[in-house]
Each structure stands twice: as C-alpha cells, then as structure tokens.
Amino acid sequence: MSMRDFWRIVREVIEESDVVIEVLDARMPHETRNRKAERMVKMYKKPLIMVVNKRDLIGAEVANNHRKSLSKVTKCIFISTKKNRGISSLKKEILKLKDRKPHYRRIRVGIIGYPNTGKSSLINAIAGKRKARVAAKPGFTRGVQWINAGDDIRLLDTPGVIPLGETNEVRQALMGVLDSSKIRDPMMVAKRIISLFLEQNKEALEKKYGIEVGEKSFNGIVREIGEVRHMLKKGGKIDLRRVYLVIINDWQKGELLLKD
C-alpha cells in the first residue's frame, strides 16, 4: 500500500468516525504521535482521545509528567492492554461522548496508530467477547472493517497502521518494528534509548545495569555497562556494538523499563 493510499484511508476513517483514538506508546508518547493525523482530526472537527498504551512499562512519575504534557493537547487516558488496566475508564470516556448524541445507536470509534503501539490489542480489549464484525459499507475502501463492541460502541479497524518513513531507522527500532540485527546504526538507537532514561528516570537505568550514571556522557555510560557486563574484545577493549545491541534488545523485549 502506497503512502498516498494509506492517507486516503485514514481520511475516510476520520470522516466516518464520531470520535478518533490515537494509540501511543507510554515510553515515548511524543515520538509516537502523528501530527498530520491529528491535524486531519481537527480539520474534520472530531473529538480526539490519545490512548497511551503500555502504562505497565513506566513509573508513576514518568506517567504523570506525560499526562500533564499530553493533556494540554487533548484528552488522554493511560492503559495497559497487557495487564487489562484502564480499559473501563476508556469505555466510560467513549460513552460520555455517545450520551451527548442521544440519536446515536452506537458511537463510531476510529482507531489509528503507529506499528507496535497496540492498536489491535486495544480493539480486542474494548470489544472483548462481544466482538462481532459488521458487513463492509458499500463504497468504502476494501479492507476497512467495522467491529461491533457490544450495543453501544462500533470500532473501525483499518487495514494496517500509520506507516513509518522507511528512512526513520531510530523510530522503527524504538517501536520494535525493526529487529536489532537489521539496524545499520545501532549507536544512534542506543543513544536515543539512553537519552530517554536520562530525561525521565536514570535510576531505572542504573538499577537495570548495576551502574552509576552521575554526570557521565552517553559514551561513558556505554563503557561502564560494557565493563560491568564483561563485554570485551580481545585486548580488553569494550565491545561497543555488543553493548548497543544489548541495550536495544532489552528495550524491545520490555526488559528495560522506565520505572524503578
């Protein structure tokens, strides 16, 4: 599917929806926002809810800071589809919007998001056992599917998610779309991961690797991780690439958490 075709589908989804949910990754919500899609939602004057998934991977202080920032933009709700937390609050928020439109039989909810933010798992969490696919609407793009989630909510499931630019390797790696073995510049990816911890929770980084960050630079942190983990080349030099890949793999597997 071309980028042009995809954005045509996104536009159709927004037009047909009563409310739009943008799914974000709690570890990096600002990186997983798509401003173009948000502008389209605003242009069509539709309510936007930012659903911040993977809340279980961050600490309370980090979550509160993100909530303050995102709330300045629009309504945001933190959830964890893995732990089934926050789903009831999200449903209540959706139904509040429905109550403002008493003529609605079901409120139509379009769901958009980048890869690996949890769009499909969110659809399953909202719909639960009452999930029922509805016949495709005549004239609507092939592959776009409405799903009834009980008597009050109808979800719009798109064929795929907002695509990432092929050249954006760091973002692809952070989202787990690009396997660490295929990353051309693992240093840049590891550097961004470390920067997230320095900005938000360096204590969690120290605890994970048994190091002291202090005022160390990225290179100093990487070298200390290499020393503690005995990641050495012949001659006793730190195997920097190996350290980069360990950091990336720990992040992608959800073992490097932004919480103590």
Specify the higher pLDDT residue, 255 or 4: 255
Domain with CATH 1.10.1580.10 in the chain: 169-253
The answer to whether residues 85 and 79 touch, using CB atoms and an 8 Å cutoff, is: yes
* Average pLDDT rounded to a whole number, residues 107-112: 93
The span from the CA of 249 to the CA of 260, in Å, is 19
The span from the CA of 81 to the CA of 148, in Å, is 19
- The pLDDT value given to residue 247: 97
Percent of the chain's residues with pLDDT above 70: 88
* Range with top average pLDDT, 108-112, 116-120, 134-138: 108-112
Among all chains, which residue has been given the structure tokens 């779309």?
177
The span from the CA of 99 to the CA of 112, in Å, is 23
pLDDT digit string (tens) for 139-163? 444 557 788 888 899 998 766 556 6
pLDDT digit string (tens) for 59-100? 999 999 999 999 999 999 999 999 999 999 999 999 998 877
- The pLDDT value given to residue 9: 83
The span from the CA of 166 to the CA of 163, in Å, is 9
The span from the CA of 230 to the CA of 68, in Å, is 40
With the C-alpha atoms ordered 39, 145, 32, 57, is the resulting torsion angle positive or negative? positive
Query: Within 10 Å of residue 6's Cβ, how many Cβ atoms?
Result: 16
The span from the CA of 165 to the CA of 150, in Å, is 36
The span from the CA of 174 to the CA of 222, in Å, is 18
pLDDT digit string (tens) for 210-232? 999 999 999 999 999 999 999 99
- The pLDDT value given to residue 143: 58
Specify the higher pLDDT residue, 86 or 235: 86
The span from the CA of 260 to the CA of 258, in Å, is 7
pTM: 0.88
The answer for residues whose C-beta is within 8 angstroms of residue 134's C-beta and 6 or more apart is 145, 146, 147, 148, 154
Token pair listed for 104: 């609605």
Regarding the domain delimited by 3-157, which CATH topology (the fold level of the hierarchy) does it fall under?
A: Rossmann fold (3.40.50)
Assign 7 a pLDDT band (cuts: 50, 70, 90). Answer: confident
Average pLDDT, the chain: 88
Considering the domain delimited by 169-253, tell me its CATH architecture: Orthogonal Bundle (1.10)
Could you tell me which residues are beta bridge partners of residue 76? 50
The span from the CA of 22 to the CA of 82, in Å, is 18
Domain with CATH 3.40.50.300 in the chain: 3-157
Assign 18 a pLDDT band (cuts: 50, 70, 90). Answer: very high
Assign 138 a pLDDT band (cuts: 50, 70, 90). Answer: very low
